[in-house]
């Protein structure tokens, strides 16, 4: 088993370096044929989404990123913890103007049937299935909980 880093996905998806893109394609083909097992993480996928959406770099839309990533993430020889959550996050990401990390949080919430999120991030308000709450303060705390004065 081999871990796949962000730049392997990016080189393949953008084809900005043809030789590296071809080598990455061959690697993913090997995984599709189950000749090798590749492993990656949600963090890597989040970084791929960030890099591909960056206006300074590639400027892809959320929908374009989803279209490019889903076929790769469904390769049989590519392992990803909780792949279904990551695929669902890509659906949320493509449908709403939120960061991939927020979409991933919502996908985890759905998986665990959690309708409410504590957050100051108003982007969660864009998703109708999520209720965002902010912690209520009944008094001013001079010292944060757990800190020594």
Tens digits of per-residue pLDDT, 46-75? 999 999 999 898 999 999 999 999 999 999
List strand residue ranges (DSSP E) for the chain, in order: 2-3, 38-39, 78-79, 116-118, 131-133
pLDDT at position 147, please? Answer: 64
Decide: 48 and 40 in contact? Cβ < 8 Å: no
- State the CB neighbour count (10 A cutoff) for residue 85: 18
pLDDT reported for residue 113:
95
129-141 tens-digit pLDDT: 999 999 986 555 5
Q: What's the pLDDT score for residue 148? A: 62
Amino acid 55: pLDDT: 87
pLDDT at 5: 95
3-state secondary structure of 116: strand
Q: How far is CA 144 from CA 18, 118, 119, 139, in A?
A: 53, 18, 18, 12
| Paired tokens of 107 | 């996908």
Report pTM: 0.83
Low-confidence residues of the chain, pLDDT below 70? 137-149
- pLDDT for residue 97: 86
Q: Which of 71, 111, 74, 116 is nearest to 89 (CA)?
A: 111
Residues 40/1, Cβ–Cβ less than 8 Å: no
- Residue 136 is predicted with a pLDDT of 82
């Amino acid at each position: 088993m081999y871990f796949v880093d962000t730049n392997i996905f990016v080189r393949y998806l953008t084809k900005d370096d043809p030789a590296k893109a071809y080598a990455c394609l061959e690697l993913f083909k090997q995984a599709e044929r189950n000749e090798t097992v590749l492993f990656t993480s949600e963090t890597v996928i989040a970084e791929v989404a960030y890099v591909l959406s960056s206006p300074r770099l590639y400027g892809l839309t959320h929908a374009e990123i989803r279209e490019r990533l889903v076929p790769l993430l469904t390769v049989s020889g590519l392992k990803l913890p909780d792949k279904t959550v990551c695929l669902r996050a890509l659906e949320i990401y493509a449908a709403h103007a939120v960061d991939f990390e927020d979409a991933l949080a919502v996908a985890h919430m759905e998986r665990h049937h959690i309708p409410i999120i504590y957050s100051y991030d108003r982007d969660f308000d864009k998703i109708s299935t999520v209720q965002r709450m902010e912690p209520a303060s009944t008094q001013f705390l001079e010292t944060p909980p757990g800190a020594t004065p």
